[in-house]
Amino acid sequence: MITRRNLIKTGIAGLALPLASAKIINAAETLFPERFEKPNIRWVFLVDTRKCVGCGLCVKACKHENEVPYDTNITRTWVERYILTKDGQVFADSPKGARDGFIDKKINLGEKGSRNVKDEDIQKAFFVPKLCNQCESPPCVQVCPVGATYKTEEGIVLVDRDWCIGCAYCIMACPYGARFFHPVHKVAEKCTFCYHRLKKGMKTACVEACPFGARMIGNIKDPDDPVTKIIMMERIAVLKDEYGTSPQVYYLGISKEVR
Amino acid sequence: MKNYVLRPLYAIIALVIVVLIIREFYVPKDFATHGESYMYGWHRKSNEDEWKAFKVKYKFDNEYCKDCHSDKYDGLMQAPHAIIKCENCHGPALDHPTDPSKLIVDKSRELCIRCHASLPYPQSNRANIRGIDPDKHNPGIECSMCHNPHKPSLEGMK
């Protein structure tokens, strides 16, 4: 028979178990606070496409700084040229990832050769620098079968070169094509936001190399950071938002044709 | 339960134990989620330090160059090219002046036409840069024959 006394007794006993387990989780956090402390940093990137001139000095600097083989057609960052014609055609090219800049009007169509668009037929033409989006939900990390790629506390996605088995799942998983295979180390390779430079208080090589200030890096957790202010105040866009990756490279002055 | 049912089960249990033992020795001690999610957190903690120790090549600090190359620095600072870092053209300083003792002096046309090949794209900053047609503007001659790269305006013509 349920009496008031019995109900309270069993009620306390029934609640005690789940509450105790919750306490254990909290206890771990109290015992090892250093394990749960997170730095107040989240690195994000901002690209102002209106300032970019397509000189490719960022690509050159990145390849030298990060020991990416210079003459091989791979790169951690690259610049794309978009040309939209008045009759509605869209052309995009990035010869050698724009390592040597854009030096003529010919559009590189890969195996199909090249194509010339007359100045008067151009509706819009501009350059878009690209690099790893350091996603908040990185699909490349999710698919790694061995835990060789991971997101650091500051939000940067890195590859463990000793632990990577070179299966290339991550290269296929990235919707931005930001990953590639490193021909020397034989592992997956990607932009690290120049992790080694950020940790020394420097900015990334591509940001420093850009003479026009088209590339910026900042800490979105710092409300006084100029990059954070622009992201909060201006009209910005990210690439392929619909993939649900929460990319952290923000763009100013972008057009819907850019993918 | 019948023995023939259990026998493969023993084999599977033995296999699992062997794998767990190998895993114990093979997987580094600092391989864990380290407070992050199971989906994105698994990694070897010491790898963060390995990336941190990666060598910095570019200083990208014109002030560093100023002390010895003040003549070049002063001229450059008055020119529109002041926005370009020394190392953009001269290559990464590394441990210059110790190693390497000399940096690159790149006089190729390819370096200059990165910006100065005329591409009049209306929505791009490129249209605001004074440009030439590399095929028509003194082809085959180094730009620095006429233009001083540290002071490239017409007043600075050699």
Instruction: Give the pLDDT confidence of A158-214 residue by residue, as tens digits.
Output: 999 999 999 999 999 999 999 999 999 999 999 999 999 999 999 999 999 999 999
| Rounded Cα distance, B155 and B158, in Å | 9
What integer pLDDT is reported at residue B35 of this predicted model?
A: 82
Q: Which of chain B's residues have a Cβ under 8 Å away from the Cβ of A55?
A: 114-115
Look at A209 and B31 and tell me if their CB atoms are within 8 Å: no
A225 within a domain of the structure (yes/no): no
What integer pLDDT is reported at residue B155 of this predicted model?
A: 60
What integer pLDDT is reported at residue A27 of this predicted model?
A: 62
Q: Which of chain A's residues have a Cβ under 8 Å away from the Cβ of B120?
A: 119
What integer pLDDT is reported at residue A118 of this predicted model?
A: 92
Residue A20 contacts residue A59 (beta carbons within 8 Å): no
What integer pLDDT is reported at residue B158 of this predicted model?
A: 58
From the list B57, B93, B112, the residue with the least C-alpha distance to A62 is B57
b/e map of B49-82 (b: 16 or more CB within 10 Å)? eebeebebbbbbebeebeeeeeebbebbeebebe
pLDDT of residue B117 exceeding 80, the answer is yes
Q: Which of chain A's residues have a Cβ under 8 Å away from the Cβ of B115?
A: 53, 55, 101
What integer pLDDT is reported at residue A18 of this predicted model?
A: 65
DSSP state of A45: E
Alpha helix (H) residue ranges in chain B: 3-26, 46-52, 62-66, 70-78, 86-90, 109-116
Residue B146 contacts residue B157 (beta carbons within 8 Å): yes
Residue of B nearest to A156 (CA): B48
CA B93 vs CA A64, A65, A207: distances in Å: 11, 11, 17
What integer pLDDT is reported at residue A2 of this predicted model?
A: 75
From the list A94, A91, A80, A85, the residue with the least C-alpha distance to A119 is A85
A50 within a domain of the structure (yes/no): no
A15 within a domain of the structure (yes/no): yes
Q: What tens digit of pLDDT does each residue of B89-100 get?
A: 999 999 888 888
What integer pLDDT is reported at residue A24 of this predicted model?
A: 53
Amino acid identity at A53? V
A160 within a domain of the structure (yes/no): yes
Name the band, by pLDDT with cuts 50, 70 and 90, for residue B6.
confident
What integer pLDDT is reported at residue A20 of this predicted model?
A: 59
Look at B124 and A127 and tell me if their CB atoms are within 8 Å: yes
pLDDT of residue A23 exceeding 90, the answer is no
- Substitution target from A36, A57, A121 for chain B, most B beta carbons within 10 A: A57
A231 within a domain of the structure (yes/no): no
Q: What is the mean pLDDT of residues A68-92?
A: 95
Shortest Cα–Cα distance, B157 to chain A (Å): 23
What integer pLDDT is reported at residue A99 of this predicted model?
A: 95
What integer pLDDT is reported at residue A43 of this predicted model?
A: 97
Q: Which residues pair with A44 in a beta bridge?
A: A218
Does B8 contact A at CB distance below 8 Å? no
- Substitution target from B23, B36, B37, B40 for chain A, most A beta carbons within 10 A: B40
A154 within a domain of the structure (yes/no): yes
What integer pLDDT is reported at residue B142 of this predicted model?
A: 92
Residue of A nearest to B41 (CA): A150
Name the band, by pLDDT with cuts 50, 70 and 90, for residue A94.
very high
Q: Which of chain A's residues have a Cβ under 8 Å away from the Cβ of B96?
A: none
What integer pLDDT is reported at residue B86 of this predicted model?
A: 93
A111 within a domain of the structure (yes/no): no
Q: How many domains does chain A have?
A: 2
What integer pLDDT is reported at residue A227 of this predicted model?
A: 97
The answer for residues whose C-beta is within 8 angstroms of residue A62's C-beta and 6 or more apart is A68, A75, A76, A77, A191, A205, A206, A209
What integer pLDDT is reported at residue A34 of this predicted model?
A: 62
Q: Which residues pair with A157 in a beta bridge?
A: A151
Residue A164 sits in a domain whose CATH number is 3.30.70.20
Q: Which ipTM did the prediction report?
A: 0.88
Name the band, by pLDDT with cuts 50, 70 and 90, for residue A29.
low
Q: What is the mean pLDDT of residues A62-83?
A: 96
Q: Which of chain A's residues have a Cβ under 8 Å away from the Cβ of B92?
A: 61, 64-65
| Rounded Cα distance, B124 and A48, in Å | 11
A74 within a domain of the structure (yes/no): no
What integer pLDDT is reported at residue A233 of this predicted model?
A: 95
The verdict on pTM exceeding 0.90 is: no
Q: Which of chain B's residues have a Cβ under 8 Å away from the Cβ of A211?
A: 83-85, 88
Shortest Cα–Cα distance, A136 to chain B (Å): 9
CA atoms within 13 A on the CB side of B76: 18
From the list B94, B112, B114, B106, the residue with the least C-alpha distance to A96 is B114
Residue of higher predicted confidence among A12 and A142: A142
What integer pLDDT is reported at residue A17 of this predicted model?
A: 62
Domain region containing A15: 4-34
Q: Which of A149, A169, A189 is the last residue before a domain boundary?
A: A189
Name the band, by pLDDT with cuts 50, 70 and 90, for residue A144.
very high
